[in-house]
Amino acid sequence: MIRPKAAYFFYFAAGACLLPFLALYYAQNGMSASQIGLLSGLLPLVTLVSAPLWGGLADATQRHRPVLLLAMAGSIVVVVALSQTSGLRWLIPLVILNAFFLAPVIPLVDNTVLTMLGDRKSLYGRQRIGGAFGWGLMAPVAGWLIDRAGMSAAFGGYALLMLGCLVTVAGLPIERAGGRGSYWRGVAALLRNGPWVIFLASILIGGLALSIEMSFLFLYMEQLGASKTLMGITLAVSTVSELPVWFFADRLIERLGTRKVLALSLLACAVQGFGYSLMTNPLVVLPIQLLHGLAFSASWAAGVALSGEIAPKGMGATAQGVFGAVSWGVRAMLGSVLGGLLFEYFGPAAAFRWGGVAALVGIGFLWVASRRTEAR
C-alpha cells in the first residue's frame, strides 16, 4: 500500500502549490472580491456535474485507469495555459476546463484505494494520510517560493507534482469491479438511500464555513498584512492537525458512528468561522487552524467510508463522484459565491461569521434528521 500513499502525497502537494494561492493570483490580475468568488465558484460548479459524470463513465465502461489518467493529464495542460492568462474573459473558460479535468481524480483514486483495501476499508484514513504529508510539507515551501519568484513557482510546482501523481497512479492495480444489473438501477438505489442523502445534505449546509475558509482565508490574511510565508505555515499547521485524525479515523468512526463524527466536524467548522471573524492579527490564524483536522479530515473520512459501504457492486466510483460533487461541488460553489458577496459588501469578518452560523445550522439539521430516523 505504498503507491496509494504516494499518489495522495503528490496530488495534495500539487494542490498546496497552487489552489490556496489562486485567489491572490486573481487579485493580482485586477479581479474584485465578487469576481474572485465567481472564479472560485466555477471549480465546484463544474465539479457538481463533472465528478459524477466521470465516475459514471468509469463504472459504466469499466475503464477506470484510462479515465483517471486522461483527467490528470488534462489538468496539467490546462494549468500551464492558465499561468499565461489574464483577464476575466480568458480566465473563465480555463478555470472551467481545469475543474472539469480535476473533479474526478480524487473520487476515482479513493474508489481504487477502497477496492485495494477490500474488507479493511476502515483503514482508508491511513492511506489518505499521505496527502496530509504532501500538503503540509509543500505548503510552507510554496509560500516561500511565491514570496521570492511569484506565482510562476506555484504553477510550475503544480504541473511537476501532478505529473508525479500521474506516473504513480499509472502503476496502481486498478481492477474492474463488474456490477450486477443495470447501471442506472444502481444510480437509483444510491439516491434512494436515506441515511446517505441526509449525510450529504448535512455536509452541504454545515460545510459552508469550510468552503469560505478555503476560498478567502488568504485574501483576508493579506489584508491583515500576512506574508506568503505565513500563509504557507498556516497550511502546514492545518496539516499537522489532520495527521492524528486520518490515522485514527477508523477508530473514531467505529466508536462514534458517521453521524456523530460529522457533527463533531461541523462544530469545529463553527468554532473556526467565529474565530476567524474576530481576528485582528494574522498570527492568530495559527491556533485556529489546529481545528482544521476535525473540520475537514473527519467529515471526509466519514463520507468516503459511508459512500464505499452503501455503493452497489460496481458503483463505487459513482458513489464517490456524487459525494465529491456535493462536498466539492454544490457546497464549495455556494461558499465561494456567497462568501465573495459577503466579503465584498459586508467585510471578511461577516463572511466568516455567517459561515460559522451555517455550520451550527448543519448540526441542527443532522440532529433533527437523526431524531426522525430513530422515531421510525
Q: Is residue 299 part of a domain?
A: yes
* C-beta separation of 332 from 324 below 8 A: no
Question: Tell me, what DSSP letter sits at residue 23?
Answer: H
- In this predicted model, what pLDDT tens digit does every residue of 305-351 receive, in sequence order? 777 777 766 667 677 777 777 777 677 777 877 888 888 889 889 99
Q: What is the DSSP string of 44-80?
A: HHHHHHHHHHHHHHHHHHT-HHHHHHHHHHHHHHHHH
Residue indicated by cell numbers 469491479: 177
Q: Does 336 map to a domain?
A: yes
- pTM value? 0.72
By CB atoms closer than 10 A (0-12, 13-18, 19+), residue 163 is middle
User: For residue 179, is it within any domain?
Assistant: no
Rounded Cα gap, residues 59 and 323, in angstroms: 15
DSSP 236-272: HHHHHHHHHHHHTHHHHHHHH-HHHHHHHHHHHHHHH
The string of DSSP letters for 333-376 reads HHHHHHHHHHHHHH-HHHHHHHHHHHHHHHHHHHHHHHHHHHH-
CATH of the domain at 329: 1.20.1250.20
Residue written as cell 445550522?
Answer: 361
Give how far Cα 3 sits from Cα of 77, 164, 169, 170, Å.
24, 11, 7, 10
Q: Comparing C-alpha atoms, which of 50, 25, 18 is closest to residue 328?
A: 50
Amino acid 102 reads L
Q: What is the pLDDT of residue 179?
A: 45
Residue 305 lies in a domain: yes
- The answer to whether the CB of 161 falls within 8 A of the CB of 344 is no
Q: Rounded to an integer, what distance in angstroms lies between the CA atom of residue 320 and that of residue 250?
A: 18
Residue 119 near residue 47 (C-beta atoms within 8 A): no
Q: Identify which of 200, 4, 29 has the alpha carbon closest to the alpha carbon of residue 113.
A: 4
Q: What is the separation of C-alpha 51 from the centre of its chain, rounded to a whole number of angstroms? A: 12
User: CA 72, 176, 132 angle in degrees (round to 5)?
Assistant: 45
Phi-psi region of 182 (alpha: psi -120 to 50; beta: other; left: phi over 0): beta
Instruction: Say which amino acid occupies 131.
Output: G
Q: Which domain holds residue 315?
A: 2-171+184-375
Residue 316 covered by a domain: yes
- The confidence score (pLDDT) of residue 308 equals 73
* 147 CA to centre of own chain: 25
Alpha-carbon gap, residue 82 to 332, rounded angstroms: 21
Residue 107 lies in a domain: yes
Is residue 314 left, alpha or beta, with left meaning phi > 0 and alpha meaning psi from -120 to 50? left
Q: Are 288 and 272 in contact (CB under 8 A)?
A: yes
* C-beta separation of 266 from 359 below 8 A: yes
Cα–Cα–Cα angle for 47, 341, 361, rounded to 5 degrees: 70
The answer as to whether 177 is a domain residue is: no
pLDDT per residue rounded down to tens, the chain (376 residues): 788 899 999 999 999 888 878 888 888 888 887 788 778 777 777 877 777 777 777 777 777 788 889 999 999 999 999 988 877 888 899 989 998 898 788 878 887 888 788 777 778 888 888 888 898 888 888 888 888 888 889 999 999 999 999 999 888 776 554 444 445 566 666 777 777 777 777 778 777 888 888 778 888 998 898 888 888 888 788 888 988 988 888 888 888 887 788 888 889 999 999 999 999 899 999 999 999 888 888 888 887 777 777 776 666 767 777 777 777 767 777 787 788 888 888 988 999 999 899 889 888 877 776 665 554 4
Between CA 52 and CA 115 the distance in angstroms is 18
- Identity of residue 271: V
Q: Quick check: is 176 in a domain?
A: no
291: cell is 481545528
The total number of structural domains that make up the chain: 1
- CA dist 128 and 303 (Å) reads 13
